[in-house]
Chains A and B, each alone.
Chain A
Amino acid sequence: MAISGNKELTSSNSPALIGAAGDSMREAFGMAITQLAEQYPKLVVLDADVAGGTGVHHFRDAYPQRFFQFGIAEQNMIAAAGGMASTGLIPVVTTFAVFCLRAYEQARLSVAYCNRNVKIVASHLGLDVGPDGGSAQTLEDIAAFRAIPGMTVISPADPFEMKLATKAMLEYDGPVYMRTGRSPIRRVLDADYQFEIGKGRTLRDGSDVSIVACGVEVARALDAADILSKEGILARVINISTIKPLDVDLLVKSASETGAIVTAEDHNVHGGLGSAVSEVLSQYAPCPMEFVGVKDVFGESGEPEELAEKYGLTAPFIVDAVKRAIARKGGC
């Protein structure tokens, strides 16, 4: 047997070469966590051989002693994070969202059931994953993680909010599941925007309907509001970046004031933001609701924008949903 040898190897992979660096939420997260390292000396980062894809390659390069490479073994990594937290560290565990699902039970028992101060940060969400296809396009993670008692679930809307949420997550003591995102995304929030865990924010006022969105759908909700305003429909746009705990007061107030709600998310319509919002409103402020999201099917390969179009996530679909909700107002 002649074993072929590798030639001189360069050491580490550069970040994923698809998409512009720096303007995706994963890159924004990776840079933010690196900037916060000095301020939070107990912070450590755990990776499962996807640092180039989650943004934490920035942290790995800057703080190699505080970066723990667990290899392609997410279950061990997430349960080990629980153990590290028990010694007083703040472990930030990073991988693709779909592999957080793989370690779901570890997140449940070794993190949440033990009430450990572990932050699970997931990239590669929803149809936004694009060409890798349905196996990686996670449309179930909000449903899964918000069902774990004590788990805070955060899904920022743009790179700016990602930075604020990263700090807030470290400041907070307890288990967190935070979603980043793969594709380059445009900035939608102003420089004076404030992030607080558990608080939604009204980004645009309106009296006819409230569009409640999270993640990449916030930008599309704002686009939809623009389209609607040209038709004389005034849509309020609310960014719900903490899906758990939900900002019940803001939702109830908006439902009462606008009388119709449309939710929008790059997630299955079952169990996600829409379900969470309707759980609250059906109790405290019932009104007509429409749900923009993926209709209980798996995704497929394609570019994120094409997929959003095919699966009904773009602004025109939100516009249609708004009109349906408004049309049902009188009848409720």
Chain B
Amino acid sequence: MGCKIEEVNEFAENIRRDALALLYHAGSGHPGGSLSCADVVAYLWSEELNYCGDSWQKKDRNRLVLSKGHSVATIYAAAGRSGLIDPAEARSVRKINSALQGHPHIKDTPWVETSTGSLGQGFSAAIGMALGVRHQEINSHVYVILGDGELQEGEVWEGAMSAAHFKLDNLCLIIDYNKLQSDDLNENIMGLEPLADKWRSFNWYVQEIDGHEVSEIESAVNKAKSVSDQPSVIIAHTIKGKGVSFMEGVPAWHGSVEITTEQLTQALQDLGIESGNMEAYINGDFWK
């Protein structure tokens, strides 16, 4: 399956626009980390998952777990564009009686694969999925996205050891290495470097890429799929708030924050929306 880079780029831009509009209508949430992982999510969603209709229910589907669950707007944006969400729900994220919870939850959106929101746990769940399908001789890949701050959880390193021990070559971890976490830079909170060496010493196959370059994402994912007897980690260097001038690299946009109408308008302009087309986003009709 060849990657149509232009199409994935366009998908990623739409994911960014939709994610911000979803959070704008929510009145709170986490924009920064939702924007940094948009290209990775766009690539995986369009090339590795192909979720639409009931396809996500197939036993041999590839799976994607968003372990950094606070960035769920990105997943909702991708799912909304794939017809998995009723367009009328675009204004309901984080609201009462909505299917679209503040963090991924399998209850009403089972295609998120597992409920997350407590950092570290999605990684372990993904390891379990990779073990489970392999044990049943089902040929499928499990992708899991972690934040860089999330790597500070001890559970992640328990998982790292176990995945290598079990030789889970059907598991691919992508680290959204945006250098920021909730309150500050990783290096000011709890340093992670040398990061690639850590994973190598845990016996993972390690690649480092620009997480906003779809061609690099493509070749790294393809390489990961060809590695045998080792789990793969792709360290994707990214920018928190990517694509929106006033959010890029600014810790306060981690969340939970409210996006004003002016801020949404400015952000969508940065993301290439003409002022004439702004209305659908502000009204919440962008999936219709």
Contacts and interface: CB of A to CB of B under 8 A. Distances in A.
The 8 closest A-B pairs by CB, nearest first: A71-B190, A302-B96, A135-B117, A133-B102, A71-B152, A131-B94, A133-B101, A13-B251
Contact of B256 (A2, A17, A306): A17
Given A73-B152, A301-B95, A301-B96, A2 B183 contact: no
B252 A131 contact: no
B26 A49 contact: no
Contacts of B254: 13
21 contacts: A2-B213, A6-B179, A6-B248, A7-B249, A17-B256, A49-B184, A49-B189, A69-B189, A70-B190, A71-B149, A131-B29, A131-B102, A133-B103, A135-B102, A135-B105, A136-B102, A300-B96, A300-B97, A301-B95, A302-B95, A310-B96
Contacts of A3: 208, 210, 237
Interface in B4-42: 26-29
Contacts of B169: none
Contacts of B251: 9-13
Contacts of B185: 9, 11
Given A131-B29, A301-B96, A307-B96, A75 B102 contact: no
In the complex, which range does the number of interface residues on chain A fall in? 35 or more
Contacts of A282: none
Nearest to A305: B96
Given A69-B189, A301-B102, 17 more contacts: A1-B216, A4-B211, A4-B239, A8-B249, A12-B251, A18-B28, A18-B256, A18-B257, A49-B184, A49-B190, A51-B183, A69-B190, A72-B120, A132-B102, A132-B256, A135-B105, A307-B96
Interface residues of B, number: 58
Contacts of A71: 149, 152, 189-190
B47 interface: no
A167 to B, nearest CB: 26
A106 B277 CA distance: 53
Contacts of B126: none
Nearest to A74: B153
B263 to A, nearest CB: 12
A72 B180 CA distance: 12
A141 to B, nearest CB: 14
Contacts of A207: none
A101 B67 CA distance: 19
B179 to A, nearest CB: 5
Nearest to A307: B96
Nearest to A3: B237
Among A99, A102, A306, residue most surrounded by chain B Cβ atoms (within 10 Å) = A102
A265 B8 CA distance: 49
Interface string A55-84: 001000000000001111101100000000
A165 B286 CA distance: 49
Contacts of A300: 96-98, 101
Contacts of B120: 72
B84 interface: no
A11 to B, nearest CB: 6
Interface in B118-168: 118-120, 149-150, 152-154
B176 to A, nearest CB: 12
B96 A72 contact: no
**Max chain B C-beta neighbours (<10 A), residue from A51, A52, A57, A76:** A52
Nearest to A2: B210
Interface string B254-265: 101110000000
A6 B210 contact: no
Contacts of A99: 118
Contacts of A306: 96
Given A69-B190, A133-B117, A17 B257 contact: yes
A134 interface: yes
Contacts of A131: 26-29, 94-95, 102, 256
Contacts of B117: 132-133, 135-136
B182 interface: yes
Contacts of A70: 190
A247 interface: no
Nearest to A303: B96
A14 interface: yes
Nearest to A132: B102
Contacts of A303: 96
B12 to A, nearest CB: 14
A99 to B, nearest CB: 7
A252 B22 CA distance: 52
Nearest to B92: A301
Contact of B180 (A9, A51, A76): A9
Contacts of B238: 4
Contact of B105 (A133, A307, A310): A133
Of the listed residues A13, A69, A302, A306, the one surrounded by the most CB atoms of chain B closer than 10 A to its CB is A13
